[in-house]
């Protein structure tokens, strides 16, 4: 085998293993999957489970921070109107697809 081919092959294999960050759409779908009581809002508990899934080291704290960041009306839930802010927040944390 030629050396050039070898190197290309290695690079390809590395790329496949490189972590891929979640897109906004993936995060949106993921968060709503964690709306387990289907009330159209994400509670702190639901956020905690979602961040646990994403791989947060302290999911409860992360849920608290996310609420602080995205819960505009301060009712303790992330509504559909507020979820974009939540997604922006989660994107910045750079979670990668496992
Ligand atoms: Ca809910
Ligand atoms: Ca709210």
- For position 19, what pLDDT does the model report? 86
Q: What is the pLDDT of residues 34-44, one digit of tens each?
A: 999 999 999 99
- Tell how far the Cα of 77 is from the centroid of ligand 1, in angstroms: 8
- For position 98, what pLDDT does the model report? 80
- For position 47, what pLDDT does the model report? 98
- Tell how far the Cα of 86 is from the centroid of ligand 2, in angstroms: 11
The DSSP element (H or E) to which 70 belongs, if any, is helix 59-70
User: What global pTM score does this model have?
Assistant: 0.82
Spatial separation of the C-alpha atoms in residues 74 and 78, rounded to whole Å: 9
The ligand that comes nearest to the alpha carbon of residue 41 is: 1
Q: What is the pLDDT of residues 35-77, one digit of tens each?
A: 999 999 999 999 999 999 999 999 999 999 999 999 999 999 9
Spatial separation of the C-alpha atoms in residues 98 and 96, rounded to whole Å: 6
- Tell how far the Cα of 79 is from the centroid of ligand 2, in angstroms: 5
- Tell how far the Cα of 68 is from the centroid of ligand 2, in angstroms: 10
DSSP letter for 18, please. S
């Amino acid at each position: 085998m030629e050396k050039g081919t070898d190197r290309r092959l290695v690079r390809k294999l590395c790329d496949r293993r490189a972590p891929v960050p979640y897109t906004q759409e993936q995060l949106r779908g993921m968060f709503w999957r964690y709306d387990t009581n289907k009330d159209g809002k994400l509670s702190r508990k639901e956020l905690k489970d979602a961040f646990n899934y994403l791989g947060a080291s302290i999911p409860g704290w992360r849920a608290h921070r996310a609420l602080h960041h995205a819960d505009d009306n301060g009712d303790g839930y992330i509504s559909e109107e507020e979820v974009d802010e939540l997604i922006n927040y989660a994107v910045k944390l750079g979670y990668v697809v496992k």
